[in-house]
Amino acid sequence: MNRPTRISSPGTLRTISAAALLILTACSKPADGGPSAAASAPSVLTVEVASPTTLQWPQTLQANGALAAWQEVIVAPETGGLRIAELAVDVGTRVRKGQLLARLADESLQNDLHKQQAVVAQAQATLDQAASNVQRAKVAENSGGLSAQAIEQYRISEATSRAALASAKADLDATQLKLRQTRIVAPDDGIVSTRTGVLGNVVSAGTELFRLVRQSRVEWRAEVDARQLAVIKQGQHAHVTLPTGQAVDGKVRLVGPVLSTDTGRALVYVALPTDSAARVGMFASGTVELPATPALTLPQSALVSRDGRDYVYTVDSASKAHSVVVTVGRRQQQRVEVLGGVPANARIVAGGGAFLSDGAQVTVVAAAASAASR
């Protein structure tokens, strides 16, 4: 029978006590991956959260088109066979109604005028003589000194002289009109877009000398399809971006009534301000504002784009971030419309989502506290 061994050395007792303490401490630690380990997982980012907000946003319709004159005015002489003696304006000149644009040489017409004035004077003298003869014939008629046939001849002569005077006056008026037409003036306010007249050239009636943009009004002619045409109305606002990058506001003046049989598209005429940088011949893009509709929006900074798709990160009750694919729509004032993917009561990481991964632990702070820390 074995007897228990007695240990009486103090050093040996201290060694056994230390070993027992180590064993008890090891047994009290939780296993890896347990609840305590999860609770102590470090936060990877401090974030603000935002909830989707419903706003009334106008719908916009994208379109492209050329800039053209509201109306073009072709200026041409009404009389021909005369030489251009003066060109008073050039391309780009703003003109007023009635302002002199060009002048034709009028020496030949001045001669015709003097000639016609002489013809009128001669016809007037002939009429006066015929009228005097008729008066004398009336006196002699009662005395029987003249036959009825002679008296009638005097009356016919007076009527013929009166008609000749009227014809001469009409010719004089025509010559004066041609003389006035040698001064070619602007038919309305506008800006000279082209000048084809050449000084010294003999022009024919109807030959184009100038072309004006009437009242200096330029419009954007946007091309739209049948579906877009159905929602555009007269008076809606439009925003046009010029090739220079400048933005110009306009208003729909007219919606084209027909679609082209070649392209299947219609024109929408948008009037632009006369003092804008828009020029005839430019090709511009723009948008037409449609009636406002509700939009579920988020800050644009909440979006994360990866692999051609848009994501946002939601934060759950355990402060873990989860990536969600979303479909976006309109963008306005640093906000973006969310068409689907998140509920209206979701908590969305407002910024910095590009630094997160799915399931990452985050620390949520209030917006005011975050702004104060910055």
Look up the CATH number of the domain holding residue 50.
2.40.420.20
Is residue 36 situated within a structural domain?
A: no
| CB of 335 closer than 8 Å to CB of 321 | no
Is residue 6 situated within a structural domain?
A: no
Same-domain status, 310 and 367: yes
Is residue 329 situated within a structural domain?
A: yes
CATH value at residue 195: 2.40.50.100
**Where does 271-366 have alpha helices with state H?**
none
Q: Please tell me the predicted confidence (pLDDT) of residue 41.
A: 63
* Domain end marker among 249, 266, 292: 292
Residue range of the domain that includes 362: 45-55+294-373
CA distance 325 to 341: 6
Same-domain status, 311 and 275: no
**Where does 67-213 have alpha helices with state H?**
107-143, 148-180
CATH value at residue 237: 2.40.30.170
CA distance 88 to 24: 110
Same-domain status, 154 and 254: no
Secondary structure tally for the chain: helices H, strands E: 6, 22
Is residue 26 situated within a structural domain?
A: no
Provide the number of structural domains found in the chain. Answer: 4
Same-domain status, 187 and 244: no
| Chain position carrying tokens 């009534």 | 257
Is residue 5 situated within a structural domain?
A: no
Q: Please tell me the predicted confidence (pLDDT) of residue 100.
A: 96
Count Cβ atoms within 10 A of the Cβ of residue 104 and give its class: 0-12 exposed, 13-18 middle, 19 or more buried.
Answer: buried
* Per-residue tokens: 231: 């929602």
Q: Give pTM, 2 decimals.
A: 0.63
Same-domain status, 116 and 169: yes
CB atoms near residue 45 (< 10 Å): 15
Q: Please tell me the predicted confidence (pLDDT) of residue 345.
A: 82
Same-domain status, 129 and 198: no
Provide the phi-psi class of 200: left if phi over 0, else alpha when psi is between -120 and 50, else beta: left
* Parallel/antiparallel/unpaired status of strands 362-364 and 45-47: parallel
* Per-residue tokens: 335: 């906000």
* Per-residue tokens: 202: 């003999």
* Per-residue tokens: 27: 């047994």
Same-domain status, 288 and 224: yes
Give every CB contact of residue 80 below 8 A, 6+ residues apart in sequence. 203, 204, 205, 206, 207
Same-domain status, 326 and 234: no
Q: Please tell me the predicted confidence (pLDDT) of residue 372.
A: 38
Q: Please tell me the predicted confidence (pLDDT) of residue 33.
A: 43
* Local confidence pLDDT in tens for the 374 residues of the chain: 444 444 344 443 343 333 333 333 333 444 444 444 444 467 778 888 888 888 888 888 999 999 999 999 999 999 999 999 999 999 999 999 999 999 999 999 999 999 999 999 999 999 999 888 888 887 776 666 677 778 788 889 889 999 999 999 999 999 999 999 999 999 999 999 999 999 999 999 999 999 999 999 999 999 999 998 989 999 999 999 999 999 999 999 999 999 999 889 999 999 999 888 999 999 999 999 988 888 888 998 888 888 888 889 888 888 888 888 888 888 888 899 888 878 878 888 888 888 888 888 888 886 543 433 44
* Domain end marker among 292, 312, 329: 292
Burial profile 10-43: b = 16 or more Cβ within 10 angstroms, e = fewer: eeeeeeeeeeeeeeeeeeeeeeeeeeeeeeeeee
Same-domain status, 163 and 201: no
